[in-house]
Amino acid sequence: MSKMELVCPAGSLPALKAAVDNGADTVYMGFRDATNARNFPGLNFDERTAERGIRYAHERGRKVLLALNTYPQPRTWAVWTAAVDRAARLGVDALILADAGLMRYASRTHPGLRLHLSVQGSATSPESIAFYRDNFNIQRVVLPRVLSLSQVRRVVKNTDVAVETFAFGSLCVMVEGRCYLSSYATGESPNTCGACSPAKAVRWEETAGGREVRLNQVLIDRYAAGENAGYPVICKGRFEVNGELGYAIEAPTSLSVLDILPELQAIGVQAIKVEGRQRSPAYVAQVTRVLRQALDAVGASPATYAPRSDWIAQLDKVSEGSTHTLGALEREWQ
């Protein structure tokens, strides 16, 4: 069994350094525009900071991936191809792409540049992965978080493309690359503008009933005095349904695969990924540190591995809702 690679988020230069310094094998970043799916003000890299970050990682023997994982439109095609060219010039170790047209451009224009299929590409079968491999020489696929562990096992068994799965971070009820809820509220698709709740559409207001948050005119949640408020997204809002108020679509919780790391390694998953380029350097440092320790423990003795209680506690502190789940990976009926 080969050792799994730990891939960690870098939404800023301090976050990149936190990931590298705490044991990440690889970091992934995005440019400061709509070409990446975490397009928020104050996040991501311009060319100068990207160059500094890549140098910092490479000098320490770590790899850097660049996410160009949104879908270009006809009028913005040149922005996305310019981002591919810039990434190649900067010397990233691989591009994470979702759009087939952009993959064709990258594979033809920069044939030596390694390409990974983004989770936004929604490839969930060996046949779809083979399409991207045969046409664009994709070297790795990031599987969507809608698959069970048995489905992941079947995919790995029936493809020669390296498989990466998510290990920790935010979950969503939508299939990646197929979300329309935010488009309904804002008129902008997260798959093209890079944010499921664009900051310009978010409105906070103090009212007699509590602190209200809206996405455009859609009321997403109302918080009592002293209640923690997360960044507003429709799928994790509280709504009244049949007279009951609650999380009608999805309750906030985070994916954590601490319990099944030996199983993921045994079935041949080659890399595990931490979600959270929009999160703080402190989050990145804490999650990276825990998963580095856990992966090292799996490597030392997979048969006797058990997640430590302090690892679970540390990850729950930075989890949505302070809770964790195996999500779709755990389906007892399969």
Q: How many helices (H) and strands (E) does the chain have?
A: 11, 15
For residue 314, is pLDDT > 90?
yes
The domain segmentation of the chain, as residue ranges, is: 5-171+253-329, 181-246
User: How many degrees, rounded to 5, is the angle at CA 150 between CA 157 and CA 333?
Assistant: 155
Q: CA neighbours within 13 Å on the CB side: how many for 167?
A: 30
Q: What is the pLDDT of residue 152?
A: 97
Pick from 84, 82, 103, 101: which is nearest to 92 by CA? Answer: 84
- Reduced DSSP (H G I as helix, E B as strand, rest coil) percent helix, strand, coil of the chain, to 5: 40, 20, 40
Domain at 5-171+253-329: CATH code: 3.20.20.60
Q: What is the pLDDT of residue 197?
A: 84
Does residue 70 contact residue 192 with C-beta atoms inside 8 Å?
yes
Q: What is the mean pLDDT of residues 226-247?
A: 89
**Residues of the chain with pLDDT > 70: what percent?**
98
108-133 pLDDT per residue, tens: 999 999 999 999 999 999 999 999 99
Please, which pLDDT band fits residue 62 given cuts at 50, 70 and 90?
very high
Q: What is the pLDDT of residue 157?
A: 98
252-292 pLDDT per residue, tens: 899 999 999 999 999 999 999 999 999 999 999 999 999 99
